Structure formats: C-alpha cells, structure tokens
Amino acid sequence: MRKIFVHGLSALDLIHTVSDLPKYAEKYKSNSVYVSIGGNAANASVALSRLGVKVFLSTVVGNDEIGNILKQKLLSENIDLSYTHYIDNFKTSISSIIIDKNGERLVLNNRESNDVAIKNDIDYEMFDGFLFDSRDIKNSIKILKQIKNIKKPKVLDAEENTTNELLNYFSHVVFSYQGLKSFTGIDNIERALKTFAPKTEFQTLVTNGERGCYYIQDKIIENIPAQKIKAVDTLAAGDIWHGAFLFKLVKRSSLVNSIEFANYISSLKCKKFGGSSGAPFLSELKENFAL
C-alpha cells in the first residue's frame, strides 16, 4: 500500500444547508446538518484515504472537546495520526458553515495562530509522496528542508498566504485562483502564469472551480475543463482535488491523466453535501477512472 505524508491544517466543520442565506439577526431552521472533517490538509487526507492510500497526517490539534471529536473522525477515516500533535491550551480550529440552494456559502472560522514546534524524528524516506497546504508555513519549511533530497512527488496547495520561500521545495505547485491572484497581483490566469511560471523549476497549476485546471508547459497555457455536473456543495473540492492529483502522480500517471482524475474526483465530491464527508470512495468510481 502506498504511503503519503500530509502536513497542514485540520479543523472541525459544522455545515448547515439552507434554502437562502440568513439576512437578519433572527432564528432560522436549516434543512440538514453535517459535522465534517475540515481544513485543507485534513480534507485532502480524507480523499486519499478513501482512494486506498495509507495517509499520515501531520497537523496540530488541541487537547480539547473539538480536538477529541476531530481525532475520532480522522481515525474513522483510517488516517494515521502518529505524527499529529496534541497540544494543551490550544484551541482546535472550528468552522461554522452555511450553504444555500445555489451552493453559495458563508464561513465563520476560528483558528489560533500555530507556533507549535513539530517533531523531527520521522523517517520521511518511507513515503511515496508529500502534500502540504499553505496554512502552517514555518513548520512546513522545517519539514521540507529535511526532505529536500527525497525525489518523490511533492505537491503544494497554494492559497493566499503562500510565500516565495515555500514554493521552491515542491515538484508541483497548485494555486487556487484566489491564491494565484494574491501571490502574483495579476487578476488573469493566463497572464499570471506566463509571467510567473517560466522562472520556476516546479510545475505550476491553477484550479478555478467549474473552469477546471490550467497549467503551463513549453510556454503554452493548457486548460483541462472540469466535469459538467450540477454542483450542490463545493466546500473542500480544492482540497480533494489536491489529494486525488497526488494520488495519481505517486502512481506515475502523466500530468494530464492526473489532472483529469483530480477533476473527476472533485466533481463527485461537488455532487454531495457535507464538505469532505462527500469525498468519493473507490467503489463509486466509474470504470474509465477506476484504478
């Protein structure tokens, strides 16, 4: 069984679905509610584990009630928590999310800044691939320095707070549209990629919701469109995309096949409510995408 190391944010998401987002300070009834694993790294871990990979999640969780619930949920997804850090007097990250009938969402997140020093005694050679989000840069760089000479796929989920230093440790950097915009200051994917990507040694990609994924090769911008589906909940779609993408890279699939697969897996997620709890299991994959 392949082994993947994931480092970054984990949280507990409380997700309500409603017809319309609340407008006034009143009492409202929701149509349904989900308690789900959240946070980029933890969401991606769920996707990877459901695809049949052994996932080792390195993340910081508080020794509190929310942390206990989160821990149980992660364990029930068969995610290995040997490298998870349980910290006293640290508040586990929690989000309250409301999603309306059009998939628009309101997110209220509470996250303590994370200055926790992580363990250093891990045998990173045993992993087949690495995934990091951009939520815990200090610790990420510490780990990335240690694995610098390990030539395995290393994927970064590059959101708004990505730094120049962080990028250079990766084989593949996947920006969200928002992440690319704030990093380059350019509000256009093609222009941003043409200005930024030729100067880098890693493969740069951008995901952009229902428009799918963009990447640049030999100075040419390519787009692999998303699957055409009726999306009901896109929460965690990007995180699940990164997990599925790395899954294929680790299997030595081509860049195009890995993107197509990630688009497919994240589209299955978008058809279900509940953030990462809607990530597909192996048994749900269509034959042409079966493994």
Ligand X SMILES: Nc1ncnc2c1ncn2[C@@H]1O[C@H](COP(=O)(O)OP(=O)(O)O)[C@@H](O)[C@H]1O
The binding site for Mg ion (CB under 5 A) comprises 176, 238
Residue nearest to ligand X as judged by C-beta position: 238
β partners of residue 130: 5, 154
Q: Which is nearer to Mg ion, 90 or 214 (CB)?
A: 214
Task: Say which amino acid occupies 71.
Answer: K
Phi, psi of 160 (to 5 degrees): -45, -40
- Which residues between 262 and 281 bind ligand X (CB under 6 A)? 263, 266-267, 270
Q: Tell me the H-state helices in 110-188.
A: 137-146, 164-167, 177-184
Give the DSSP H or E segment for 242.
Answer: helix 237-250
Determine which residue in the list 55, 144, 237, 246 makes contact with ligand X, applying CB under 6 A: 237
Stretch that binds ligand X, among 81-89, 112-120, 195-203, 210-218 (CB under 6 A): 210-218
**Burial classification of residue 121, based on how many CB atoms lie within 10 Å of its CB (0-12 exposed, 13-18 middle, 19 or more buried):** exposed
129 binds, options Mg ion, ligand X, none, Cβ within 5 to 8 A by partner type: none
> Residues 163 to 192: which contact ligand X by CB under 6 A?
176
Positive or negative CA dihedral for 250, 252, 258, 262?
negative
Is residue 213 a contact point for ligand X (CB under 6 A)?
yes
Stretch that binds ligand X, among 70-78, 115-123, 224-232, 246-254 (CB under 6 A): 224-232
**Closest listed residue to residue 70, CA positions, set 50, 91, 48:** 91
Under rule CB under 6 A, residue 160 binds ligand X: no
Binding site for ligand X (CB under 6 A): 176, 207-210, 212-213, 226-227, 229, 231, 234, 237-238, 241, 263, 266-267, 270
